[in-house]
Amino acid sequence: MLDPAALAMEPAPGRACGTCTLCCKVYDIPPLAKPAGAWCRHCRPGRGCVIHPDRPQHCRDFHCLWITQAWLGPEWKPDRSKMVLTIDAATRFLLVQVDHGAPNAWRAEPYYRQLKQWSGAAAGRGQHVIVFLNKSATVILPDRDVPLGVMGPTDRIVARERRTATGTSIDVERVAGAA
Ligand code: SF4
Ligand code: SF4
């Protein structure tokens, strides 16, 4: 069960990045002016960081969910799944950052089924599962997937419940932040 309130924040015993370096590709790294989707110039893909002892604090502070959550199986290791999972610190949304070299990785099984299950549980808490391909977001809802396009740094995702003939559905939209 992926419950943000119960998540460990530190690496789980026995978990190590090993051959994975995907977080050095898929994210912005502001102290290095590295954009999402480009390998960091200090990364040797599949091998590691050549400035590891001197890497920015931004990098030191990062732990993906596969590193901190021992219950996530080996199929979720980012260099195998082609996705890096995190929990947004402010919203507690589950963020799935996909390697743009494998843009449909999240649609493959067993991943898509698991993302849908997490989406159902998150919806009950007023939270969401969001897949990112660089800055382009898709919200995974229990009954459908909603592409929202490129998210600006101050954009927000707003959700509303809507009653339907068969129950309750959720509408989501991207709301532009202040310019
Ligand atoms: S994505 Fe996770 S497992 Fe892979 S290098 Fe980064 S912290 Fe390590
Ligand atoms: S400095 Fe090292 S740890 Fe940080 S993104 Fe670059 S390769 Fe990865």
In a structure prediction context, what are the per-residue pLDDT tens digits for the chain, which is 179 residues long?
566 666 767 889 999 999 999 999 999 999 999 999 999 999 999 999 999 999 999 999 999 999 999 999 999 999 999 999 999 988 899 999 999 999 999 999 999 999 999 999 998 888 999 999 999 999 999 999 999 999 998 999 998 888 888 888 889 999 988 76
**For the CA of 29, the nearest atom of ligand 2:** 5
**Predicted pLDDT of residue 179:** 63
State the Cα angle at 109 between 171 and 112, rounded to 5°.
15
User: Considering every ligand atom, which ligand is closest to the CA of 58?
Assistant: 2
**Predicted pLDDT of residue 76:** 98
Domains of the chain, residue spans: 18-62, 68-179
From the list 24, 20, 27, 28, the residue with the least C-alpha distance to 72 is: 20
Counting ligand 1 atoms within 8 A of each CB, the residue from 10, 29, 42, 64 with the most, and so the one to mutate, is: 64
**Predicted pLDDT of residue 11:** 86
DSSP 8-state class, residue 27 = S
CB of 59 sitting under 6 A from ligand 1: no
**Predicted pLDDT of residue 133:** 97
Counting ligand 2 atoms within 8 A of each CB, the residue from 59, 62, 64, 84 with the most, and so the one to mutate, is: 59
Nearest CA to ligand 1 atom 4: 20
Nearest CA to ligand 2 atom 4: 59
**Predicted pLDDT of residue 125:** 86
In angstroms, the Cα distances linking 94 to 2, 47, 86 are 9, 27, 6
Sheet holding 145-150, edge to edge: 83-87, 94-98, 129-133, 136-140, 145-150
28: CB partners within 8 A, 6+ apart: 34, 35, 36
Nearest CA to ligand 1 atom 5: 21
Q: How far is the CA of 52 from the centre of ligand 1 (A)?
A: 13
Phi, psi of 176 (to 5 degrees): -65, 140
